[in-house]
Amino acid sequence: MTNRTAFVTGASRGIGRTVALRLAAAGARIVVASNERENNDLVVAEIVAAGGQAFPIYLDLTSQESIKESVAAALKEAGHIDILVNNAGVTKDGFALRMRKEDWDFVLNINLTGAFLITQQVMPGMIKERWGRIINMASVVGLSGNPSQANYVSSKAGIIGLTKGLAQELGSRNITVNAVAPGFIETDMTAKLPEEVKDRMKAAIPLKRAGKPEDVAAAVAFLASEEAGYITGHVLSVNGGMYM
């Protein structure tokens, strides 16, 4: 990935941070983008300390203006964006019967609309260069459904639809668009679950363990590589067999 620039949203922590580190290790220059300025700086410092190249960008996916400004700033710094990883995502769980519209809008606006808007800003450069990799972070629940997550499930199912639609639009320009659908992954978010809940989830997974952020990052790195140049419109499940 030498001379490639990767823009990773939600790169300040969790899976996004691990994806940024993995792509940097493969030789890409990383745009560490999130709304957490201090954590952005920490991830950049970690990449640079390991011999990689990176710079931070403040990104607020709830603001179309921030999205435009963030991409413009990244292009000014790097000159081009070759790889876009739409990783940033939020949850606001609750039973559908009582779900507030603002909670529905909050999750859809960041997880789906935000991903679309930033992709829209990055596409012209990829089209001009006739090369690009767009990797969208879906979820196992976007395939299987999940109670108390109507908004999150809808956003991730929408990401899968967006992936397939864009893959058809952009394929003739040598731009691939794929999705990664993680299952139960060990993150700060899942660490807060009660042990009995985690044990029950692991028992239902054929590989009998939770995944690690590195498992997801490896899938993203493959889809971003030259070797994946004939794969587009695909949803790569990283779930240990949790859903088949």
Residues 14 and 5: their CA atoms lie apart, in Å, by: 20
Is 152 one of the annotated active-site residues of the chain? yes
* C-alpha dihedral sign at 136, 38, 1, 69: positive
Q: Phi and psi (nearest 5°) for 99?
A: -70, 125
Question: Token pair of 243, please?
Answer: 């859903």
Reduce the secondary structure of 127-183 to three states and give it as a string: HHHCCEEEEEECCCHHHHCCCCEHHHHHHHHHHHHHHHHHHHHHHHHCEEEEEEEEC
Of 45, 125, 117, 46, nearest to 83 by C-alpha is 125
Distance separating alpha carbons of residues 171 and 46, to the nearest angstrom: 35
Side-by-side strand order, sheet with 175-182: 53-58, 29-34, 5-9, 83-86, 132-137, 175-182, 235-238
Indicate which residues carry an active-site annotation.
Answer: 152
